[in-house]
Amino acid sequence: MYGYNRQDQLPVRSAPASRPIKRHHTARYYAHRVRESLTTRLSKIICTIFLGLVLIMGLVAFILWLGLRPHRPRIHIHDFSLPGLGQETGFENAQIAFNVTVRNSNQNIGIYYGDMDGSVYYKDQKIGSTPLHPQFYQEPKSTIVMATVLSGATLTVNSQRWREFMNDRTKGTVIFRLQLTSTIRFKIYTWVSRHHPMHADCDVSVGPNGLILQTSKDHRCLAYFF
């Protein structure tokens, strides 16, 4: 009976006999899971710290960039004149005088300019060109005046072109384009950028008296650098 009982119980015991194995498995499983969740938590924390650092560094870089972002030079045209525009034979000693200012509006960035040239275009054809300034360095927040006169060898205006001017003049305006070309390098503290070719275009209208029209005076020229 007892034996039977034991034998009876055996199957009962043997049925949960699979349980200890399961329990053992579960314990290992939990240990594994605990270890796993620890590493997950650790890697999550590391990830969070890392992402936080990246974010902060990005923010700092963005703020620095905002503060140090180089602005192109600001170029304004103040004067442009063609004396003798009203005279039939004006081309014989034609002159073009202009006055532009070049401003470095950056707070902390200096600009090194290569040799700067000025050219005058009429209907997209170059009619004159001259060196404006040899290479120079421009301090932050400073302005330089460039004023010159094109004539003789630096200005090629024949009688036919002059007639075109005269023709435009009877309509009220003669339109020219003044172009400044140079190369620029930005200086940020001790670091100096590579050379960037730069050019600025100023559209300018001249009235019948040969003087710049109010609509063009003190206008900002479009400046590009690459």
- Point out which residues bind ligand NAG (CB under 6 A): 78-79, 99, 101, 145, 147
Whichever of 12 and 145 has its CB closer to ligand NAG, that residue is 145
As measured in angstroms, the least distance from the Cβ of 196 to ligand NAG is: 26
211 in Cβ contact with 81 (< 8 Å)? yes
As measured in angstroms, the least distance from the Cβ of 189 to ligand NAG is: 31
Whichever of 151 and 193 has its CB closer to ligand NAG, that residue is 151
- Per DSSP, the three-state class of 67 is helix
**Residue 196 burial (C-beta neighbours within 10 Å; 0-12, 13-18, 19+):** middle
As measured in angstroms, the least distance from the Cβ of 145 to ligand NAG is: 5
Whichever of 79 and 203 has its CB closer to ligand NAG, that residue is 79
Whichever of 103 and 196 has its CB closer to ligand NAG, that residue is 103
How many residues comprise the chain? 226
192 in Cβ contact with 160 (< 8 Å)? no
As measured in angstroms, the least distance from the Cβ of 51 to ligand NAG is: 52
Kindly state the tokens that stand for 189.
Answer: 């503290």
Query: What phi and psi, each to the nearest 5 degrees, are found at residue 186?
Result: -90, 140
